[in-house]
Chains A and B, each alone.
Chain A
Amino acid sequence: MLSLDPPHPVLRRNKEQFLHFNQGAPLTDYSFVVCDTELTGLNKRKDEIISIGAVRIVNLQIELDQTFHRYIRPVHINPNEATLIHRITPEELKRADSAAEVLPDFIEFCDNSLIVGHFVGLDMSFLNKAARQLLGGTLSNPGIDTMRLARRYKDSGKIDHYGHHDHASSYTLDALTKEFGLPLFKPHDALEDALQTAYLFLYLVKKIRDGGIHSLKELYRAGRIRG
């Protein structure tokens, strides 16, 4: 399907929310949606999103009653691949809603929040690809990448390290979680990965410069994704 004209109403509202976006307020004034997507593969042309997990952070606290977790029925189901990495069964995928149904709900859930993710550029490119195809536009929410934040944090040398420098070069969510000693979630479930990322985000925001990041601008400089 080619792009719709005009874009889906949910995207128009989404865009309006960020027309006069103020970057100067304290971090506690913003809400963040930490999200993770599960994909059938990493090929941007042919692979698809099969689940989205997300959790909201308000006042720099994770709000566990504001989570989003949906499976998406892919256009091309390859049951073997999906069950291999994810805990989703092919049956579940077959019963799931289509991207056209899930995506607007997700965009509504994101509301006026900033989107946070680990290597969030990848998630955003799949989300935007689907949004362009199905809703005729892309999301306007600014994104923040916890991987970049982590790099920034480690470069600043402010790590409470125990001699783990030797394998500090890995920036996967798993490796960082272990390195910083964060509580552990089950991997490869979009919601739990989103939570894991949310923990990492809270940790980094409060540890970088000994909690010295106060405004969004400062955070942005540390963890902005490059377009």
Chain B
Amino acid sequence: MAADVHSLAPEVVVDFFAKIMPFTELDHETLHRMARHVKVDFFPKGTQLLHAGETEISHLFFIQQGGVKSFIIDDEGEVTLKDYRGEGDYIGALAIIRGTKANLEVETVEDTFCFLLPKAVFLDLINSQPGFSQYYLKSFSEKFVNTAYVELRRHKMTRRGDENLYLFSMQVGDIVKKPLRKLSVDSTIQQAAQQMATHRVASLLIHQPEAADEIIGIVTDRDLRSKVLAPGLAYTEPVRQIMSSPLATVLSQSTCFDALLKMMSCSIHHLAVERRRKIVGVITSHDITLIQGISPYSLFKEVGKQQKIAGLYPLSKKIPEMIRNLIKEGAKSGNISRMISILNDHILERLLTLLEEEMGPPPLPYCWLIMGSEGRREQTFKTDQDNAIIYADPKNEQQGREAEAYFARLARKAIDHLVECGYPLCPGEIMAVNPKWCQPLSVWKGYFADWVSSPDPQELLHATIFFDFRAGFGKVSFADELRQYLMELTERQELYLLHLANQCLSGRTPLSFFRNFIVEKNGEHKNKLDIKQQGITPFVNFARILALRHGVRETNTLARLHVLAKENILDESLWVKAVDAYEMQMQLRIIHQLNQIEAGAEPDNYIAPDELSELEKRMLRDAFEVIDRLHSVLKTMFPTP
């Protein structure tokens, strides 16, 4: 008699499960018995496997080959990517154990083969194998931050005492508690104060006299103090005189994180919460600080309170720690860069304010420009200084000498302080301390005109840094004027853009013929990939060239691409792909740098492809393929004869 071979589970399944946790713990017989219940299914790329809140999960999916992404879609239809899973990863365990429907949207991002383990068999293992439940419970507690995010968005949040609350999971609407207090714009200041005292609130919304629903402004405690008491304004004056208008609003479905970003970037403390075009309440920075122990906001506030420049040093060094928390809460790279920008800007602003106090007022108005990645609001942890000073054109020679001396000293001191704050010097000396980059507005215009009219390859490099400038501190109108000037120049100079495009196209695509990554061949970064230079920069360059050509004022790459797509300059599907590819690489870079910082190393941009998961590698390859497509768009736009 032959061995009864057909009752054995196929080797491939046994081999697969024998390698992944927690099945590694199973004895031979249990593993084989389990493996026999497994089914195989195939899902072409782009198949939606699970619908959050809808799909009943009858089995666990184990990815044998391929990859999926999970994401959530909020009430406004906005999609937030949660994560990617690849070979050996599973989908659906949490829902099966908790007996709920799927809690994430899951879609295959490539052709994917899955082993399906029936629910009953899985639950049986959970109940009979002690290591099993432990494994899944542990992995849930780690994943809880992610899944909580989803759960919290779908169900109203009830606060539990011992639990952290998350900036990303709480909606603004959830923390509006107090009823709306409002007053007609014709009321007196005293009536406003009385109302605030009676209801014990620190702010009042102000509406039109005949339309109580038409909110036009807000009055806060601070207004009473600084606009009434201090200047000695009569209490009988109408409240209209002291209100802040127009009112800054935020949608009730926005996350607290978004609200916080808005408050920080506008330097305001109150936001009116809007639901279905109606104002339903007010949230304050204090409300948000309350839900977040060590928050970006408290750091922001600490910076604003500093009276000594040295007090800023330790604060700016807290940024990486804070960013780490944000990443662990599930922030996307775009959010993180924006938060880093806001904090860096705020530190710069405080630093220069204190410096001016120390040095005495400047002889001429000036604008502190920030450029490069800071100018694009695309910083990660490692932020080289790229800055410059524009000051008003001096009226005479003496004023010119005074300005030169003052700004040279200001620049020297500011840059030393920035180094102390942890921002490394720019290796290319593109800093305000370099006399070349500390000049009156007319000289700056001359620089730009020269670069654009005679593009020498050396000078082209400047374009990539200087053209992404924005105002960091001081007289913003100088930066605006320079931007306007530059746009007029480049719109006329097709030839110049052609040079930029050619330079952009000359960069090698990071895929070799055999679809392996091009990595550094020698030296310190042997076998590593420069994710910034090879992966991210082509997107940045592409967006810049098109922005210059089409008069887009934005400096941020994603914002530039967005405008280009909205104006139908960039194909919609290519835009979506470019955004995905860009964000994916930024995320990879930020997490890489975070790991380096945690290991006590200096953050850099060198990623070892060997250390990436198969899925990450493939995603990176896909991202690089988008570069090819962007390049062909450039080639079409700037055909070379």
B5: chain A residues at CB < 8 Å are 69-71, 191
Instruction: For B40, give the chain A residue with the smallest CB separation.
Output: A62
Tally the A-B contacts, defined by beta carbons under 8 Å.
Answer: 79
Flag whether A82 is at the interface (Cβ < 8 A).
no
Where chain A touches its partner, the secondary structure class is mixed
Separation of A159 and B12 alpha carbons in the complex (Å): 26
**Which of A7-15, A19-27, A114-122, A202-210 has 4 or more CB atoms under 8 Å from chain B?**
A202-210
Flag whether B488 is at the interface (Cβ < 8 A).
no
**Which of A35-43, A135-143, A177-185, A216-224 has 4 or more CB atoms under 8 Å from chain B?**
A177-185
* B39→A192 contact, CB < 8 A: no
Instruction: Evaluate whether A183 and B12 lie within 8 angstroms (CB atoms) in the complex, with A65-B37, A202-B41 already known.
Output: yes
Instruction: Evaluate whether A207 and B10 lie within 8 angstroms (CB atoms) in the complex, with A64-B35, A183-B113 already known.
Output: no
Separation of A98 and B22 alpha carbons in the complex (Å): 42
Flag whether A33 is at the interface (Cβ < 8 A).
no
Separation of A185 and B45 alpha carbons in the complex (Å): 22
- Give 1 or 0 for each of B122-143: 1 = CB within 8 Å of chain A CB: 0000000000000000000000
Where chain B touches its partner, the secondary structure class is mixed
Flag whether B52 is at the interface (Cβ < 8 A).
no
B40: chain A residues at CB < 8 Å are 61-62, 64, 198-199, 202
Flag whether A160 is at the interface (Cβ < 8 A).
yes
Flag whether A96 is at the interface (Cβ < 8 A).
yes
* A96→B38 contact, CB < 8 A: no
* B111→A195 contact, CB < 8 A: no
Instruction: Evaluate whether A61 and B116 lie within 8 angstroms (CB atoms) in the complex, with A160-B45, A199-B42, A206-B44 already known.
Output: yes
* B116→A183 contact, CB < 8 A: no
Flag whether A95 is at the interface (Cβ < 8 A).
yes
Q: Closest approach, in angstroms, between the C-beta of A220 and any C-beta of chain B? A: 20
* A67→B113 contact, CB < 8 A: no
Instruction: Evaluate whether A64 and B9 lie within 8 angstroms (CB atoms) in the complex, with A199-B42, A199-B113, A203-B42 already known.
Output: yes
A185: chain B residues at CB < 8 Å are 12
Flag whether A60 is at the interface (Cβ < 8 A).
yes
* A64→B39 contact, CB < 8 A: yes
Instruction: Evaluate whether A67 and B44 lie within 8 angstroms (CB atoms) in the complex, with A96-B2, A162-B515 already known.
Output: no
* A182→B10 contact, CB < 8 A: no
Flag whether B28 is at the interface (Cβ < 8 A).
no
Q: Which of these, B8, B37, B39, B45, contacts A62 with CB under 8 Å? A: B39
Flag whether B64 is at the interface (Cβ < 8 A).
yes
Size of the chain B interface, CB-CB below 8 angstroms: 27
Interface residues of B in 320-335 (CB under 8 A from A): none
Instruction: Evaluate whether A97 and B36 lie within 8 angstroms (CB atoms) in the complex, with A160-B45, A162-B515, A207-B44 already known.
Output: no
Instruction: For A96, give the chain B residue with the smallest CB separation.
Output: B2
Instruction: For A109, give the chain B residue with the smallest CB separation.
Output: B6
* A64→B13 contact, CB < 8 A: yes
B11: chain A residues at CB < 8 Å are 186, 192
* B42→A192 contact, CB < 8 A: no
Flag whether A63 is at the interface (Cβ < 8 A).
yes
Flag whether A211 is at the interface (Cβ < 8 A).
yes
Separation of A207 and B111 alpha carbons in the complex (Å): 9
Interface residues of A in 75-118 (CB under 8 A from B): 92, 95-97
* B39→A206 contact, CB < 8 A: no
Flag whether B1 is at the interface (Cβ < 8 A).
yes
Flag whether B65 is at the interface (Cβ < 8 A).
yes
A61: chain B residues at CB < 8 Å are 39-41, 116
Flag whether A126 is at the interface (Cβ < 8 A).
no
* B39→A69 contact, CB < 8 A: no
Flag whether A68 is at the interface (Cβ < 8 A).
yes
A211: chain B residues at CB < 8 Å are 44
Q: Which of these, A60, A71, A191, A195, contacts B2 with CB under 8 Å? A: A71
Instruction: Evaluate whether A70 and B113 lie within 8 angstroms (CB atoms) in the complex, with A199-B40, A206-B44 already known.
Output: no
* A192→B10 contact, CB < 8 A: yes
Q: Which of these, B10, B13, B41, B45, contacts A60 with CB under 8 Å? A: B41
Q: Closest approach, in angstroms, between the C-beta of B2 and any C-beta of chain A? A: 5
Separation of A56 and B111 alpha carbons in the complex (Å): 22
Instruction: Evaluate whether A95 and B39 lie within 8 angstroms (CB atoms) in the complex, with A192-B11, A207-B44 already known.
Output: no
Separation of A55 and B8 alpha carbons in the complex (Å): 12
A183: chain B residues at CB < 8 Å are 12, 64-65, 113
Instruction: For B41, give the chain A residue with the smallest CB separation.
Output: A61
* A95→B2 contact, CB < 8 A: yes
Instruction: Evaluate whether A202 and B42 lie within 8 angstroms (CB atoms) in the complex, with A68-B6, A181-B111 already known.
Output: yes
A55: chain B residues at CB < 8 Å are 10
A202: chain B residues at CB < 8 Å are 40-42, 113
Separation of A18 and B208 alpha carbons in the complex (Å): 81
* B39→A63 contact, CB < 8 A: yes
Separation of A199 and B113 alpha carbons in the complex (Å): 9
Q: Which of these, A64, A186, A199, A206, contacts B36 with CB under 8 Å? A: A64
Instruction: For B87, give the chain A residue with the smallest CB separation.
Output: A183
* B1→A64 contact, CB < 8 A: no
* B12→A97 contact, CB < 8 A: no
Separation of A63 and B41 alpha carbons in the complex (Å): 9
* B35→A95 contact, CB < 8 A: no
User: By CB atoms of chain A within 10 A, which of B9, B12, B13, B113 has the most?
Assistant: B12
Q: Which of these, B6, B45, B113, B515, contacts A69 with CB under 8 Å? A: B6
- Give 1 or 0 for each of A39-66: 1 = CB within 8 Å of chain B CB: 0000000000000000100001111110
Instruction: For B42, give the chain A residue with the smallest CB separation.
Output: A202
Instruction: For B5, give the chain A residue with the smallest CB separation.
Output: A69
Instruction: For A65, give the chain B residue with the smallest CB separation.
Output: B36
B43: chain A residues at CB < 8 Å are 206
A95: chain B residues at CB < 8 Å are 1-2
B37: chain A residues at CB < 8 Å are 64-65
B1: chain A residues at CB < 8 Å are 95, 97
Q: Closest approach, in angstroms, between the C-beta of A41 and any C-beta of chain B? A: 22
* B6→A67 contact, CB < 8 A: yes
A210: chain B residues at CB < 8 Å are 44
What are 9 A-B residue pairs whose CB atoms fall within 8 Å in the complex? Answer: A62-B41, A64-B13, A65-B36, A69-B5, A95-B1, A96-B2, A183-B12, A191-B6, A203-B42
With A64-B10, A71-B2, A211-B44 given, can you name 11 additional A-B contacts, CB distance below 8 Å?
A55-B10, A60-B41, A61-B40, A62-B39, A92-B2, A95-B1, A160-B45, A183-B65, A202-B40, A203-B42, A207-B111
Q: Which 10 A-B pairs have the closest CB atoms?
A: A62-B40, A202-B42, A65-B36, A61-B39, A69-B6, A69-B5, A96-B2, A61-B41, A183-B65, A64-B38
